[in-house]
Amino acid sequence: MDAVLQALADPSRRTMLELLRHRPATAGQLAEALPIARPGVSRHLRVLREVGLVDVRQDAQRRVYSLRPEALVEVDQWLEPYRALWRNRLDALHTEIARGKKERK
């Protein structure tokens, strides 16, 4: 889970996921759509592969990458306790407003 969140930190990698979200693509296609050169894309793909965010399918000389959205489940799970908080906070806010608030220094 650590690894996934760390992989998501890079904007280029997020863009790649965004592209793969619509359809699978080869490394070359991804490189064309990105501001960085092919080798860089390859290395990013390696990272994404290692954390399970993408799958590779060999097609002759090509390597077709596809999104593996299940890997993001752990991010969702990491988010879960916080999600509970931000929802409660809205509730609490409403309650506070309803009955007045005590001062805190």
Partner DNA sequence: TGGGTACGTAACAGCAAGGGTACATAGCCC
Partner DNA sequence: GGGCTATGTACCCTTGCTGTTACGTACCCA
Residue numbers at the binding site for DNA (CB under 7 A)? 9-10, 12, 26-29, 35-47, 56, 58, 60-64
Beta carbons of 26 and 66 less than 8 angstroms apart = no
Q: Which does 37 bind (CB under 5 to 8 A by kind): a copy of itself, DNA, none?
A: DNA
Looking at beta carbons only, is 38 or 87 nearer to a copy of itself?
87
Q: Which does 23 bind (CB under 5 to 8 A by kind): a copy of itself, DNA, none?
A: none
Letter string b/e over residues 62-88, b meaning 16 or more CB atoms within 10 A of that residue's CB? eeebebbeebeebeeeeeeeeeeeeee
Looking at beta carbons only, is 14 or 38 nearer to a copy of itself?
14
